[in-house]
Amino acid sequence: MGVSIREYARRRGVSDAAVRKAIKAGRIAKEPDGTVDPAKADAAWERNTNPAQQREASVNGGANQGANPGYAPPANPPQRFAPQTPPSPPLKQGAPDYQTSRAIREAYSARLVKLDFEERSEQLVSSDEVKVSAFNLARRVRDRLFTIPHRLSSVLASENDAGVIEERLDQELRKALEELKHE
């Protein structure tokens, strides 16, 4: 059996604006007739509301304590609502609750801050920069190696001994790679 939003807010000890805000945010659900089922709404409220943003409920249900200075709350206050139905499933199936979502967001945020710090402290390099540098280095190696035949063609044409030709080629390759090492 549902109650009005104002009645639920009064029983809950919050303003009706807070209840409307919770409905709008999807933290609690209204019945098809526009009322609020207190048992379902209480379970959803506890499950989907950030405890850090809840105010401490006053002992006498929000009444002005200064109005009755001799008032003492009962030792065992009665429970506001007796659960008549089992707790309802989450409003959005498969969606994590607020605390889980917040923890996930904070973990990603921490990772991004760490990556930003490592990049600024030059511990990380952009993958695009690495690709460009590797491409440029490979291009220089290729260009150096392609100049060897032009330099050795006349010398090797006059040689008949295969051992001498091999030695000359080996020397030129080493020379080209050594020059690249010192660039």
Instruction: Specify the pLDDT at position 73.
Output: 54
CB atoms within 10 A of CB 78: 6
* Token pair recorded at residue 113: 């801050």
pLDDT computed for residue 77 by the predictor: 54
Q: What percent of the chain has pLDDT over 70?
A: 78
Phi, psi dihedral angles at 2 (to 5 degrees): -85, 160
Mean pLDDT of 94-123: 88
Element (H, E) at 127: helix 127-157
pTM of the model as a whole: 0.37
pLDDT tens, position by position, 19-77: 999 999 888 989 989 899 999 998 888 888 777 776 665 444 444 444 445 555 555 55
Does the pLDDT at position 85 exceed 90?
no
The answer to whether 20 and 64 are in contact (CB under 8 A) is: no
Closest CA to 81 of 114, 39, 119: 39
Q: Report CA-CA distances (Å) from 103 to 20, 34, 51, 113, 152.
A: 26, 33, 14, 15, 67
Q: What is the pLDDT of residue 66?
A: 46
Calculate the average pLDDT of the chain. 80
Look at residue 79 and tell me whether its pLDDT is greater than 70.
Answer: no
Domain boundaries, the chain: 1-52+73-93, 96-124, 127-181
Q: What are phi and psi of 36, to 5 degrees?
A: -120, 130
Q: Dihedral sign, CA of 99, 51, 18, 77?
A: positive
